[in-house]
Structure 1
Amino acid sequence: MFKRQFIPDKNLLNPKFDGYKLSPTNEKECVTRTSLPNGSDLRMNKFMANHRLGFRDLQARVRLNHLAYGFPTSTNKQQQGVAFYVDLEFQLMSVIYNKETNETHLQPIVQLIQPLGNLPNYSEPSATLPSDPYSPSLISLNSELLLASNGAGYIELVHIRSGTVIASTRYDGDGSEGISPVPCVLLDAQLVGNKIVMMAYSRVASKNTQFNISTLEMSADSNNNNTNDLITTLNIQRGLEVPTYCAIIENGERFILGSESPYEKFTSASTCDDNDAIITDASTPGATTITKTPKSSYSWTQDNTDITVQFILSPNTPKSAISCQFNNTHLSLIVRDDQNEISYPFRKLWSLVKADDCTWTLESDGTLTLFLNKQDQHTRWPHIFDIDDGVMETLDPAKLAEITERLEKFTGNDANNNPTVQNPVATDMDEDIDDKGEPIRFAIYDRLGQCIEEIYSGGCEWLCKAFDCEKEQEQRQGEQIPSICVKVDVDGQIYKFLKEEQGERNNLQTKHINTFDAFGFVQASKRDSRFIYYDPKFKFIVIIESSRNAYIYYHHDDKRSIETQKLVDLTRGEDVNVVGCQLLLDNVLVVLTETQVITIQI
């Protein structure tokens, strides 16, 4: 299940590459600008005023592409490109570019459900209430249908040509948020028969920033007027970040999430006792059974240098049923046989360990013991994993009394019976905003949310994905999975996910298919990189800043030592933000700012 599959193809590397040479851009010939209609600009500060957001939440909002790709119609497919955005009045707008005339037209399509606003000012909501709205998000399903979320929890299916909403529903989250509908953002969607399978993210009702990644199924039947019957939650994954890569594959039977940190399946246990867990019965859709399971699947203890973790398995469990691997930051433990099933797929540890000194043993009575050697000795771990799963350290009474006595000077009163003053660092932990450079990992889930496979990049860092037009191109060629670009050394290497027949199921493998020379080095040198995308035909890759320039880096397959770089000044010094970009037709880049639509002939 745990694999290192990112293997570079040496034939696609260019060790003789020397760099990029800046080439002047004649903006009069290749750049056109179209102002947004009066009174409908996209100055996003209206959305963000007076909201305090965690770093991961703010990061996801900044990365949101407000310009959605539109599938070309059967007529004028090579001459007319379409994209969509939503203005601040929640009017769905189309951007229609004509390549023959080099003109851009903006047309309204339909009015989306407009939120009434935030909570009334006389209320005092809980600090965990995820009431901050998101910006609208859009995903094209085909040339006729568009899925739209207004950012405040309502999801609508729009028929583009007629300009009508043919289905509307609401997202209710996991039921614990204390608000309904729950603000959400669409990640991916796919039309499967008369159903729409989609993935969306929302904030968890928690003081710490966490996200629910929900897989939903919505009816596309325009005759169904009952909004409660339109949408079904298939599963929810919970994690610390919004995935940088999300794909629905195999007609909605499997899903891929790419992220730096892992996700855990969320299961509501509100109807169970403390020792119960809800297990979904795969044979009967929607049915659940309650199965008795222990509160914790392991116990652990520690000293100054080592941590000992124990799992109790069935007697005479074979070693072949156990897959256990360590690295300095993560643990991967899978136990699979007829009597045991333990799954900790690539879980991040609370702190660093010395992977070479970690080991595990299995005794005949079924006791599985992991020995972790700390890198930072004399530091006590509060829990095993980065995300606290509630399993407390096992301590003997004498050890517990010793620790309690040592902590009294920090938690008790001083000689004058005044509370001891603590350093704020000891009581207030912010999100780690400087934790950069984590390797990307990909997890494959089934419809029930079970992680059935993982692909670890072997230390590669995430760079970007292709423009959304890749999805439309792949649908014409049969069902495939969007490619990715990861940083390997100084290069940006493109990998494709491929199916490999093994037994009764298809496993995924990765194949190195192209390379953007030295792009990993180039990207690292940019302090402002709001959008990064590459052409699905690998002719160029682009970095777009949040408020100024677009950098275009060209690529050829002849392994030349010098490639061309172009720069386009998008905002010309105006105090506006870039909020979206898409590739339309062939080599036509469309950039959306808060006041203009800019088309660039690449």
Structure 2
Amino acid sequence: MEYSILKLGVDPELLNPHFDGYKLRLVETSAETSAVRVYPLLSSSVEPLKLPANTHLLFDEMYFRVHFNHLFAGPTENTMLYVDSAYRINMLKVEAGGNQGPQTMAIFEMPRPAADSEHHALVGYPCVFSLDQTTILAFDGHVTAYVLRQQRANNDNTGDISVDRWVAVAGFEIGPGATVAGPADNVDRRKLYSIAGATIVNHADRSEIRLHYCHRIDRQLKKPSAEEAAAKARQQPTYCIQAIKVDIPINSAITNMPGSRVSMLEPSVVHTLHSHAIPQYCEYTDDNRFVLGVRNGIVLDETQSADSETPFPPIPKGRLDPYYWMQTASDVTLCIQLPISIGAQQISCTLKRISLTLQFTEAPECQNKYSFNNTAFFSDIAAEESVWTLENGRLLTLYLEKARAGVRWPTVFSSDDGVLETMDPSEFAVIRDQMAKYTSDSLAAGGRMALHSAADAIDQDEEDLDQTDSSIEFSARSWCSGQAEAIGAAGSPDWLCCSFPEPACRREKSRKNTDAWVQLLRPVCLKFDVDGIVFGFGRAMDNAVEACHVGSFAALSYIQASKRERRFMYVDAEMTVAVLAETQRRIYIYRQTRHRHAAEAVQNIVDLGNGELLGLLKVGGYLAVLREHTLCLVDLDLC
């Protein structure tokens, strides 16, 4: 199985090397002209379910619950949804000006999930997905999902949501899955699911709901021994990411009464993937593909055996780049796989502080493609501490010590040649281990690997090479099979956040764009040195899914690391603001710099007073903040 590289290339033109910091401004919250308005919820309160004290959750599962956003994008502009403690789905619409408060309408009440007395079933958080302007998918957090359809009053063009009637046309169940809580025996297993993403495909005679849901695989049916428990604790957890589809006939039965029986349909499994983490990102294109972002990537798909010795992921399609490379905070390692075997005497390599010159003698197969002539590096190197090696006459490796440790290189050379970090981390570790073993003494003894440097030895203080714990691997995959068409290069930037969810009407509009490159899916913000860089996923000229650097937030990576109580973090798709919300009280709003060379930008701090922040969404020109009994609207134009 082959795939191409989904390149996450950084455009230096979109970085701001002149940025010094943010100018602090406290947003007024008490005056009549305040940028913040608070409105009581017109339904029951929002009270997230609490877990029993003896619940055993892994880091990913706890992270998912702590950072769960209880405010969801609506089907049309300026609308949003939330589920209250009575399992009612409420739709709110924010009017221009926001002075009268949002319109509120309860559109559907889900039956409350019943606890399973045999397995002590524990429900998760309910969630809502606006699939298009007239279809909503609601999940009760347990096993049952409901498909709601809109019925509008005849000839109504006022935009008043109170005239809308949303009805349940079908329901279906997903599962099984389990998260262990308490002693790991069958009696104390509790079900806990999360939906990673959902979409809809409309046909002439039916609608097809597509979704991915995730649960942890735990086949332990009895309490393990102490040795078994210790061995299991050392293993990485395995999560099942299963794709299912459900066909909704046009003539499905309709009900809107609480507790009424909804026509239940049978979902079918399309494909199954496995990972060691819960997906951070799952979005769907309009041509039977989806993009998945998960820490450490997918480790197994349903076409492979769990006992297979074949490494995953498979090898990319033929490596066409002249070299491949990877970096740590202090160095860059560049490898060239030569087409023929040559001797070290045929190589002329000059490593200067600012440039590389590499020439080959009596080896035209190498000279034509792999030579460099005083080619400038992206940043300065410590030439006296840099080395090159030739192993088995075929693998030429350049070890470049950075002159400024901690500066991340988007490319090896100052002129972007499109070669990204594509080396597999395990391959990189082997090379680094080999280089650490060989010194000038081994060279004098006729070692198999020749080491060439201006220095007599290399620094033995190596950094930890395992950077995969925080690195998110993105992959574009086929909906029908789940197999990867493109996978992000190894060593891609670490995850920061996603953009705010957008209303379904805006997603539909973007997909109708016929430009050569069109952004199809929600952008993501990733770490790059101290900055946050925003990538959009779109369709290239050859119809392949590609990622494009579309904007940057100066110093955002540095700033977010200091927010220890951070619950929510988003950027907006227009890249005007980045927002961080703490668990209680405070919201930080960071403005985009005015231009590339701006030395400062504005940081707004909004103090909403005591109360837990449960949801965050950008709606029109407002930032909506959901709390247990109130909804706050922050006017971004006044921040």
Q: Calculate the TM-score normalised by the size of structure 2.
A: 0.63
What is the correspondence of 1:243-392 to structure 2 with a 5 Å cutoff? Answer: 243-251=279-287, 253-267=288-302, 296-297=308-309, 353-356=429-432
Q: Which residue of 1 aligns with 2:532?
A: 492
Contact 2:82-2:90 at 8 Å conserved across structures: yes
Structure-2 separation of matches of 1:517 and 1:294: 43
Flag the 1:174–1:21 CA change in 2: closer, same or farther, 3 A: closer
How far apart, CA to CA, are the structure 2 residues paired with 1:108 and 1:346?
A: 52
2: CA distance, partners of 1:485 / 1:93: 30
CA separation of 1:6 and 1:262: change in aligned 2, threshold 3 A: closer
2:13 counterpart of 1:11: yes
Change in Cα spacing, 1:294 to 1:237, as seen in structure 2 (3 Å) is closer
Partners of 1:59 and 1:295 in 2: CA distance: 30
What are the equivalent positions in structure 2 for 1:121-140 lying under 5 Å apart? 123=118, 125=119, 131-140=121-130
**Structure-2 separation of matches of 1:167 and 1:84:** 20
Say whether residues 1:520 and 2:554 are aligned partners. Answer: no
- Offset at residue 507 of structure 1 (A): 3.0
Residue identity matched to 1:569: D
Q: Distance in 2 between matches of 1:464 and 1:600?
A: 21
Q: Which residue of 1 aligns with 2:450?
A: none
2:248 match: 220
Equivalent position amino acid for 1:132 in 2: L
Residue 357 of structure 1, CA deviation: 5.2
Supply the distance in 2 between the matched residues of 1:20 and 1:451 (Cα, whole angstroms): 41
State how far apart, in whole Å, the 2-side matches of 1:8 and 1:438 are. Answer: 19
Aligned residue among 432, 441, 444 for 2:476: 444
Q: Please state how far the C-alpha of 1:294 moved relative to its aligned partner.
A: 11
Which residue of 2 is the match for residue 364 of structure 1?
none
Give the whole-Å Cα distance in 1 for the aligned partners of 2:17 and 2:495: 22
Q: CA distance change for structure 1 residues 348 and 41 in 2, over 3 Å: closer, same or farther? A: farther
Flag the 1:448–1:437 CA change in 2: closer, same or farther, 3 A. Answer: closer
Matched to 2:247, the amino acid is: S
Tell whether the 8 Å contact from 1:197 to 1:216 is kept in structure 2 after alignment. yes
What is the RMSD computed on CA atoms of the aligned residues? 3.9
CA distance, structure 1, for counterparts of residue 504 and residue 300 of structure 2: 27
Name the CA distance, whole Å, in 1 between partners of 2:522 and 2:282.
9
Residue 228 of structure 1: CA displacement? Answer: 6.3
Matching residue of 2:510:
477
What is the identity percentage for the equivalent residue pairs of Structure 1 and Structure 2? Answer: 22
Query: Which residue of 498, 506, 524 corresponds with 1:465?
Result: 498
1:595 is aligned to 2:597: no
CA contact 1:552–1:565 (8 Å) conserved in 2: yes
Sort the Cα spacing of 1:487 and 1:295 in 2 relative to 1 into closer, same or farther, 3 A: closer
Shift of 1:3: 3.1
Maintained 8 Å contact 1:265/1:449 = no
The separation in 1 between residues aligned to 2:40 and 2:559, in whole angstroms, is 32
| 1:363-383 deviation line (CA, Å, top 9, x unaligned) | xxxxxxxxxxxxxxxxxxxxx
What is the DSSP-based 3-state SS (H/G/I as helix, E as strand, rest coil) of the residue aligned with 2:62? helix
**Counterpart position of 1:535:** 572
Q: Which has the higher Rg, Structure 1 or Structure 2? A: 2
Find out whether 1:578 has 2:582 as its counterpart.
Answer: no
Question: Gaps (5+ residues) in structure 2?
Answer: 151-163, 181-185, 221-231, 254-261, 329-421, 436-465, 513-519
Residues 543 and 552, structure 1, Cα contact 8 Å, conserved in 2: yes
Match of 2:36 in 1: 31
1:391-402 paired onto structure 2 within 5 Å = none
Please state how far the C-alpha of 1:469 moved relative to its aligned partner.
Answer: 1.7
Count of matched residue pairs: 451
Q: Determine which of 44, 48, 54 is the counterpart of 1:44.
A: 48
Deviations 1:542-579 (A, max 9, x none): 00111221100011442321101111112x13xx4212
- By how many angstroms is 1:143 displaced? 2.5
Against the structure 1 CA distance between its residues 538 and 460, is the aligned structure 2 distance closer, same or farther, given a 3 Å change threshold?
same
| Equivalent position of 2:22 in the other structure | 20
Among candidates 557, 566, 577, match of residue 604 of structure 2 = 566
Checking the alignment, whether the CA contact within 8 Å between 2:4 and 2:487 is kept in structure 1 is yes
Secondary structure, aligned partner of 2:104: strand
Query: What residue number does 1:549 align with?
Result: 586
More moved, 17-26 vs 91-100: 91-100
Please give the alpha-carbon distance, in whole angstroms, between the structure 2 residues aligned to 1:175 and 1:461: 29
CA contact (8 A) 2:133 2:504 kept: no
Give distance in 2, aligned partners of 1:243 and 1:22: 34
> C-alpha displacement at 1:230, in angstroms?
4.0
What whole-Å deviation, never above 9, does each CA across 1:413-432 have from its counterpart, x for those lacking one? xxxxxxxxxxxxxxxxxxxx
Deviation at residue 458 of structure 1 after TM alignment: 3.6
* Offset from partner CA, 1:434-468 (integer Å, 9 cap, x none): x9862221122212121222012644111111111
| Aligned mates of 1:580, 1:545 — CA distance in 2 | 11
